[in-house]
Amino acid sequence: MIVREAKLLKGTKEQYQSIDDAIRTAQFIRNKAVRYWMDNQGVGKADLYKLCKDLAASFDFALKLNSAARQASTERAWQSISGFYKSCKKQKKNIGYPKFKKHSRSVEYKVSGWKLSDDCKIITFTDGFKIGSLSVFCNHQTREDLHRLKINRVRLVHKADGYYAQFCFDAERKEEGVYTGNVVGLDLGLKYFTKDQNDNAVIYPQFLRKSERRLKKAQKRLSKKFVKGKKPQSINYHRSRKRLGKVHLKIQRQRKDWAIKLARCVVHSNDVIVYEDLKITNMVKNHHLAKSISDVSWYQFTHWLDYYGKVLDKVVVAVSPNYTSQDCSSCGHRVRKLLSTRTHLCSNYGIEICRDTNAAINILKKGMKILGSKWQNSTSGQEESASQEEKHGEKIANAIDGKLDIASGFL
């Protein structure tokens, strides 16, 4: 599925208020579905669909929302419920029990309830909230996709700087990748965002640290305008709240843009990418490093690595980070060291290198062992699950055939 985003322009105050009413109604239906599941044992997805009809018959504002949008809201509820069931089956420690939404920011329409003009510049919503027509502002790529691809769903999203329409297309993004024969192991860190086995480092720009002054100033202005016990708050309070939201939104977009560009560059330049699968939820419990860990956003970077690996038909492998910094990359001797120790000095082999470089080599070793076992299985005559996986393995094997000796040196 491909998702494209476009900003909605030239809307009146009444239209934006109608969008907010539709979002609150979708949140109401989603929370009602979760409550119905909690109160009744053995509730399935079909029972939640039946609940939509009952809610539309009981509440007039729920009837205004398009029937397909009501179903999409119950699907969101069922998604959280099914995720809870999967976590229970896998016996995870942190099981995400379904929770009620307090501040929803989107409503999703399926194939009905909206209509796009022929030139794809105006979108009209036709449900009971009477949102009406809104101008669509998007880039050239989104405009092309709107003309040539089939739209499955449309989401209305309320952000700090306005309202957006997200178009979901039933298509898979594929690009022709250039195979260079390079392999890389990435160690993720704070001093260096990434460092590979060749000692090439990338430093994170620290977007949150650079914007802390603006955040504190906006937060201070907001707190001055807050009056305890007053409902509703003043207009100036909500203006300051929106200004603070725009600062946070800019930081979020800076992180995402930087992660996308770096991930695409890494995948485009290498055929095999191996990175460490960090347990970030456990790492942020360290209160001395929680802000820095949240700022670098490792999860977002690794997510886009996996995405562009599928798009460009490259191999991206996540390995366990256990003892990658402690074990010597030359002899395997385990050298205990503190987090503040940035140099790896092996007493057994006598090697002295950067701690992150040593970890990157160990990460690459683990990844190459995993891929070596897969290649062996595919070449021994065993049947693959899909012909596409066979072609993919052949491309990678041929691409790194000339440089496999370099990787075997680390093994």
Between CA 371 and CA 317 the distance in angstroms is: 8
State both tokens at 132: 């009406």
Answer yes or no: are the C-beta atoms of 90 and 82 closer than 8 Å.
no
Between CA 305 and CA 202 the distance in angstroms is: 15
State both tokens at 75: 């699907």
In this predicted structure, what is the pLDDT of residue 389?
Answer: 39
Secondary structure (3-state) at 157: strand
In this predicted structure, what is the pLDDT of residue 89?
Answer: 85
> Hey, CA dihedral for 348, 354, 359, 360, is it positive or negative?
negative
Which among 373, 357, 399 has a CA at the least distance from the CA of 272?
Answer: 399
pLDDT by 10s per residue, the chain, length 411: 788 889 998 889 999 999 999 999 999 999 999 999 999 988 899 999 999 999 999 999 999 999 999 999 999 999 999 988 888 888 777 777 899 999 899 999 998 889 998 888 899 998 889 899 999 998 888 888 888 888 989 999 999 989 999 999 888 888 887 888 888 889 998 888 999 888 889 999 999 999 999 999 999 999 999 998 888 899 999 999 999 999 999 999 999 999 999 999 999 998 899 999 888 888 888 888 898 988 898 999 999 999 999 999 898 999 988 888 888 877 777 878 787 788 888 877 677 888 888 888 888 888 888 877 432 323 233 333 333 334 444 544 454 444 434 333 333
Secondary structure (3-state) at 166: strand
In this predicted structure, what is the pLDDT of residue 211?
Answer: 93
Q: Name the one residue in this structure whose structure tokens are 């000796």.
A: 405
Alpha helix stretches (DSSP H) within 90-228? 140-148, 207-210, 212-225
Between CA 206 and CA 305 the distance in angstroms is: 20
In this predicted structure, what is the pLDDT of residue 394?
Answer: 52
Between CA 7 and CA 141 the distance in angstroms is: 14
State both tokens at 347: 């007493």
**Which phi and psi (to 5°) does residue 125 adopt?**
-105, 130
Task: Indicate the DSSP class of residue 59.
Answer: -
